[in-house]
Amino acid sequence: MSMIFGVPLAVLSGQLLIGVINGAFYALLSLGLAVIFGLLKIINFAHGAMYMLGAMVTVIMFDVMGVNYWVALFMAPLLVGVVGVLIEYFLLRRIAGQDHIYSLLLTFGIALLMQGVLTNIYGVSGLRYSMPDLFKGGINLGFMFLPYYRAWVIGIALVVCFGTWFMIEKTKLGAYLRAGTEDAQLMQGFGINVPLLVSLTYGFGVALAAFAGVLAAPIYSVTPVMGSHILITVFAVVVIGGMGSIGGAIITGILMGVVEGLTKTFYPPASSAVIFLVMVVVLMFRPAGLFGKEA
């Protein structure tokens, strides 16, 4: 069997695949955080909870109403997006412009509330969600086995990330978002309904998290606390990429997944710490992050 640095190729490529998958989730989640931070200037601590809600809603809708995976892929982000718009309209709007600590505490509180309520009902042992039949099995690439569902996750995550990047960087609506990030007040002075734009942006950001949640449902353990586990890592990814950089969030997300995968192969004990090590090093040399603009 072929070896690379003393590691069998199949093991290396297997870990790389897991790394890219995790990276796809990091990218989707940090992308939503970056979009929200750009316009609202808040650090959305409820982001992990929204990811969890996306996954939970998928499972619950299937159990209660028999809603299938494909419908959930649209319905769950839509529902969570509406929840996000309501949260922005009734809660976040009231503390807009205050010190960061208020929005941080509020979104953290929302996350704990959602986690707590759902834990009370469903426990933390994990809900079962079976893979859609279409994705059962996989393909042997010769050097590794690629399950169909994992390939789908990587593909669709890339499509959604690129679509979001394109929407923000290349369209008129995106121009509103980019301009609003710089000077929302002036934008409103031009006649743009900024409060509405802010609500929809928050809704869109958390819908991205929910979309990641739906993708996660068949492969990760779906529990009310799944969001809090991944969120800390995603925050590190965002810090490495640079707060508010859309392209940076995507690239860094995938990159960090791969770095994690490689570490798991060559030095497993460091695998859960490596992203934070990268964060420390990046902050020492580029305090604004790899893709952030120096203030």
> Of all helices (H) and strands (E), which one includes residue 60?
helix 47-65
161: left (phi over 0), alpha (psi -120 to 50) or beta: alpha
Among 176, 202, 211, 220, binds other proteins (CB under 8 A): 176
Length of the chain (residues): 295
Which residue is it, tokens 């996954």? Answer: 55
Q: Least distance from C-beta 178 to other proteins, angstroms? A: 4
What is the spatial distance between Cα 62 and Cα 276, in angstroms, rounded to a whole number? 37
Whose Cβ is closer to other proteins: residue 67's or residue 192's? 192
Whose Cβ is closer to other proteins: residue 51's or residue 176's? 176
Q: Least distance from C-beta 174 to other proteins, angstroms? A: 9
What is the spatial distance between Cα 245 and Cα 237, in angstroms, rounded to a whole number? 12
Whose Cβ is closer to other proteins: residue 100's or residue 178's? 178
For residues 240 and 33, the answer to whether their CB atoms sit within 8 Å is: no
Label the pairing between strands 7-8 and 3-4: antiparallel
User: Residue 172 interacts with other proteins (CB under 8 A)?
Assistant: yes
What is the spatial distance between Cα 159 and Cα 220, in angstroms, rounded to a whole number? 21
Q: Least distance from C-beta 207 to other proteins, angstroms? A: 23
Buried b or exposed e, range 140-158, using 16+ CB within 10 angstroms: eeeebebbebbeebbebbb
User: Residue 247 interacts with other proteins (CB under 8 A)?
Assistant: no
Total residues at the site for other proteins (CB under 8 A)?
19
Q: Least distance from C-beta 26 to other proteins, angstroms? A: 24
Subset of residues 178 to 207 that bind other proteins, contact rule: CB under 8 A:
178-179, 181-183, 185-195
Whose Cβ is closer to other proteins: residue 79's or residue 179's? 179
Whose Cβ is closer to other proteins: residue 186's or residue 281's? 186
Whose Cβ is closer to other proteins: residue 99's or residue 182's? 182
109 φ, ψ to 5°?
A: -60, -45
- DSSP per position, 136-156: -SEEE-SSSEEEHHHHHHHHH
User: Residue 175 interacts with other proteins (CB under 8 A)?
Assistant: yes
Q: Least distance from C-beta 29 to other proteins, angstroms? A: 23
Q: Least distance from C-beta 97 to other proteins, angstroms? A: 10
Residue 189 CB neighbour total at 10 angstroms: 10
Whose Cβ is closer to other proteins: residue 155's or residue 189's? 189
User: Residue 66 interacts with other proteins (CB under 8 A)?
Assistant: no
Q: Which residues bind other proteins (CB under 8 A)?
A: 172, 175-176, 178-179, 181-183, 185-195
